[in-house]
Structure 1
């Protein structure tokens, strides 16, 4: 027997703002809300326990101490990488400088709160 990733939890200052951003990026919808202000996002019609992990945005007042040791990688599903990059930047993503050479086939980005994620080149079919 093995485990699988069921949800990813991202601490944030403004769960509402990040819920809008990540819903647009991933095509997710709100599937739950907790009394502590956490917002859970997931694929439409499934939610927790489905084939894709949900994303929980958990409010915190603690400042981010340093670079995260974990980040999300996203792949375009219905357009090429350049078109998806333009869409993500329009939604509020920003380029991140992590010492890349310019020869990489992925783009390091920051969400509106500065959390790192990468846009990969390879297009995947939608789930």
Structure 2
């Protein structure tokens, strides 16, 4: 019998720190804090170089990525990692997030996200279920639905 596995969702990104900020605000999650002392120890020990780092909001961070997490911790939802890739996305996502806003007004949420840089791609319906397919500021698809 296989033990259940834990996982994280990883999203390729041109600008992982800003995209992590965007998604953390969108979901009401938090960006994982940077451990500057740990980063400095890795550089001092020769495991990393200054080129592996950057500053984001004045804080030393790994250039390669940023992660967000649910405020209640990993037992509530998987971590989402935004990792830097040099090439742009060129085809439709094969996997995407469905953001379920519960009793919140979906149209108001969609309007707020558009105001923050998202785009509406189309409206969907299957039986009584409805959703809005959107693209985040880097063009990654996601859906917003009531449940």
TM range (shorter): 0.7 to 0.9
Report runs of 4+ in structure 1 exceeding 4 Å deviation.
none
Give the CA deviation at 1:4.
Answer: 5.0
Alpha-carbon distance in 2 for matches of 1:116, 1:54: 18
- Structure 2 unaligned segments of length 5 or more: list them: 35-60
Q: Deviation digits for residues 86-116 of structure 1, max 9, x if unmatched? A: 222122110114xxxx562100100000000
**TM-score, length basis structure 1:** 0.78
Alpha-carbon distance in 2 for matches of 1:75, 1:89: 17
Task: Tell me the SS of whatever aligns to 1:22.
Answer: helix
Count of equivalent residues: 116
Is 1:61 paired with 2:61? no
The structure with the largest helix share of the pair is 2
Is 1:76 paired with 2:89? no
Counterpart among 38, 41, 66 of residue 39 in structure 1: 66
Alignment map for 1:1-127 (pairs within 5 Å) = 1-4=2-5, 6-32=7-33, 35-44=62-71, 46=73, 49-77=74-102, 79-97=104-122, 104=125, 105-122=130-147
**TM-score, length basis structure 2:** 0.68
Residue equivalent to 1:125: none
Highest CA radius of gyration, 1 or 2? 2
Give the CA deviation at 1:18.
Answer: 0.6
After superposition, the CA RMSD in angstroms is: 2.2
Give the CA deviation at 1:2.
Answer: 4.8
Alpha-carbon distance in 2 for matches of 1:20, 1:9: 15
